[in-house]
Amino acid sequence: MRLFSSFAKGLAWALLLCSTGAAHAQLRLPGLHLPQPLGGLDSLARPAERLLERSVPGDLRGLRLDAVETLLRRHRTELEADPRGEPVVRGEILATSPAAAALEAAAGLEFAVLRADRFEELGESLVVLRVPPNLSTQEALARLRALDPAGSYDFNHVYTGSSALPLGGGGGAEAARGGTAAGAVGLVDSGVDLGHPVFEGAAVESFGCDGKPHPAPHGTAVAALMVGRAERFAGAAPGTRLFAADIYCDSPTGGSADKIAGALGWMARARVGVVNISLVGPPNALLERVVAAMVARGHLLVAAVGNDGPAAPPLYPASYPGVVGVTGVDRQGRPLPEAARGPQVMFAAPGSQMVSAAPGTSPYRQVRGTSFAAPIVAALLSKALPQPDRAAAARAVSTLAAQAVRENDAPADALGRGVVGAALRVDPNRFR
């Protein structure tokens, strides 16, 4: 009885904290390595002024899986592999909108509440449970599913950029920068270097990391492709207000499903119409529910389909129903050989032989990968959907599809409805 009382008090306290407002609604969890934004996939290469066109180095398709193996080996204390070999947070189970009776039964099995959150606008809630010391994470998940077959329980999976190459990174929290801007677009990624010249005068709302900025190459490059503007560089929608959620915070491990859910909950409260997620990973019950709620509410979620190769299994969130999956193409409009294929591909956009912003002394670097095609599509869609609206979202997709270019012999599973934003590629030659 005392065990459940302690459990209930912990849950009530966590829910009270998470209901005090948007500024305190984020979930806290160690972050995960993001990809280096061209030494590999979804990567940043040498400084742009020294770049020449180059072919794809070797077989890029296994880089993410190799990086996941390295990640698991280096962070055994924080992470472990699920039965498919995907990284999860060790000793944590996610319960999505659990019933009170199910939580009481879990308390009887010595599960403890680590934290909780409510996503009021999405009609969902989250409880993160700590696995009892006598059970493995996999055994604990099986116990909960058997105890409550109608419930929704899963590992706390971690998500990476398409190549999963490590980089430091993060972003600020609940801070505003810049003046007025037309429209809005969201970003769930690592941190953005707001001191970079391409963001001068930009209007940015930031979320995550307890207000501490952690600029990172991947988030900076993706954000610049959406709203950046400088003398020799322009993103797809400069002048658009950017809502940037950092789910990594320069931590060696992270990018977990509950962090993504927390970021999307923030986007829902802010009524951001289009949100870019250049991250990939396995299916996850919490993420599936939150994504479905966002789509039903009229948001457009734009996601990279990943670079595990054309024969690879689908990656998420790009493969969830209603998500705008984006692949990358080269200068000639050909699909990147490492890019995923399948019905999840809705659009293609420039994803190689192009430059974006980077933190540090070399302010521009070449980028490659589906991670950098997705923000172009997101920015284009944001012009027609500043706030969530189901009918307007459908019209925005149809309008963009009417502008897409697709060769008659191009397979639909490679390019979807066609290539958009080809003229937005920032050529490395500009920086020679």
Catalytically active residues, by annotation: 189, 218, 371
DSSP letter at 354 equals: E
Task: Yes or no: say if 4 and 104 are a contact pair by the CB < 8 Å rule.
Answer: yes
Give the closest residue to 270 by CA, choosing from 15, 31, 21: 21
CA atoms within 13 A on the CB side of 234: 8
Helix (H, G, I), strand (E, B) or coil at 129: strand
Buried b (16+ CB within 10 A) or exposed e, 132-170: eeebebeebbebbeeebeebbbbbbbbbbbbbbbbbbbb
Helix (H, G, I), strand (E, B) or coil at 158: strand
Beta bridge partners of 348: 327, 419
106 phi, psi to nearest 5 deg: -65, -40
C-alpha distance from residue 250 to each of 29, 363, 388, 398 (Å)? 12, 19, 31, 38
For 301, the token pair is: 């979620």
Burial class (CB in 10 A: 0-12, 13-18, 19+), 100: exposed
At which residue do the structure tokens 């990086």 appear?
67
